[in-house]
Amino acid sequence: MESSTQIAEVSGTKPPRGFVKLIAATAALAGLLFGFDTGVISGAILFIKGELGLTPVAQEVLVSAALVGAVCGSALSGRFTDAWGRKRTILATAGIFAAGSVLCALAGNFVALILGRLAVGVAIGVASYTAPLYIGEMAPPKLRGGLVTLNQLAITVGILLAYVVDAAFAPTGGWRLMFAFGAVPAIVLELGIAVLPESPRWLLLHQRKEEAVKVLTRIRGNQDVMPELNDILSHAEPGRGKLADLFSPIVLPVLFCGVGLAVIQQITGINTVIYYAPTIFQAAGFQSAQSSIIATAGVGLVNVLMTIVAIPLLDRVGRRPLLLTSLAGMTVSLAALGLGFAIGGEALKWIGLLSLAVYIASFAIGLGPVFWLLISEIFPLSVRGQGASVATMANWLGNFVVSLTFLSLLNALGSAWAFLLYAALCVVGIWFCLRFVPETKGVPLERIEADLRAGRPLRKLGAG
Ligand code: BGC
- Phi and psi at 208, nearest 5°, equal -110, 65
Residue 46, pLDDT score: 81
- Any atom of ligand 1 within 6 Å of the Cβ of 155: yes
Does residue 8 carry a pLDDT above 60? Answer: no
- Any atom of ligand 1 within 6 Å of the Cβ of 130: no
Residue 168, pLDDT score: 85
Does residue 358 carry a pLDDT above 80? Answer: yes
Residue 223, pLDDT score: 62
User: Quick one: which atom of ligand 1 is closest to the CA of 364?
Assistant: 12
Distance 368 CA to ligand 1 centre (A): 6
Q: Report the nearest-CA residue for atom 8 of ligand 1.
A: 368
Average pLDDT over residues 54-75: 89
CA 24 from centroid of its chain's CA atoms: 14
- Any atom of ligand 1 within 6 Å of the Cβ of 272: no
- Any atom of ligand 1 within 6 Å of the Cβ of 74: no
Q: Report the nearest-CA residue for atom 12 of ligand 1.
A: 156
- Any atom of ligand 1 within 6 Å of the Cβ of 409: no
Q: pLDDT tens-digit profile of 221-253?
A: 656 678 788 877 776 655 456 778 888 888 899
Distance 301 CA to ligand 1 centre (A): 14
Report the share of the chain in percent with pLDDT over 90: 52
User: Quick one: which atom of ligand 1 is closest to the CA of 152?
Assistant: 7
- Any atom of ligand 1 within 6 Å of the Cβ of 153: no
Q: Report the nearest-CA residue for atom 5 of ligand 1.
A: 156
Q: pLDDT tens-digit profile of 10-39?
A: 344 555 578 889 999 999 999 999 999 998
- Any atom of ligand 1 within 6 Å of the Cβ of 42: no
Distance 14 CA to ligand 1 centre (A): 35
| Secondary structure in 3-state letters for the chain | CHHHHHHHHHHCCCCCCHHHHHHHHHHCHHHHHHHHHHHHHHHHHHHHHHHCCCCHHHHHHHHHHHHHHHHHHHHHHHHHHHHHCHHHHHHHHHHHHHHHHHHHHHCCCHHHHHHHHHHHHHHHHHHHHHHHHHHHHHCCHHHHHHHHHHHHHHHHHHHHHHHHHHHHHHHHCCHHHHHHHCHHHHHHHHHHHHCCCCCHHHHHHCCCHHHHHHHHHHHHCHHHHHHHHHHHHHHCCCCCCCHHHHHCCCCHHHHHHHHHHHHHHHHCCHHHHHHHHHHHHHHCCCCCHHHHHHHHHHHHHHHHHHHHHHHHHHHHCCHHHHHHHHHHHHHHHHHHHHHHHHHCCCHHHHHHHHHHHHHHHHHHHCHHHHHHHHHHHCCCHHHHHHHHHHHHHHHHHHHHHHHHHHHHHHHHHCHHHHHHHHHHHHHHHHHHHHHHCCCCCCCCHHHHHHHHHCCCCHHHCCCC
* pTM summary value: 0.86
Distance 332 CA to ligand 1 centre (A): 20
User: Which of 64, 265, 299, 303 has most ligand 1 atoms within 8 Å of its beta carbon, as the pocket-test mutant?
Assistant: 265
Distance 270 CA to ligand 1 centre (A): 7
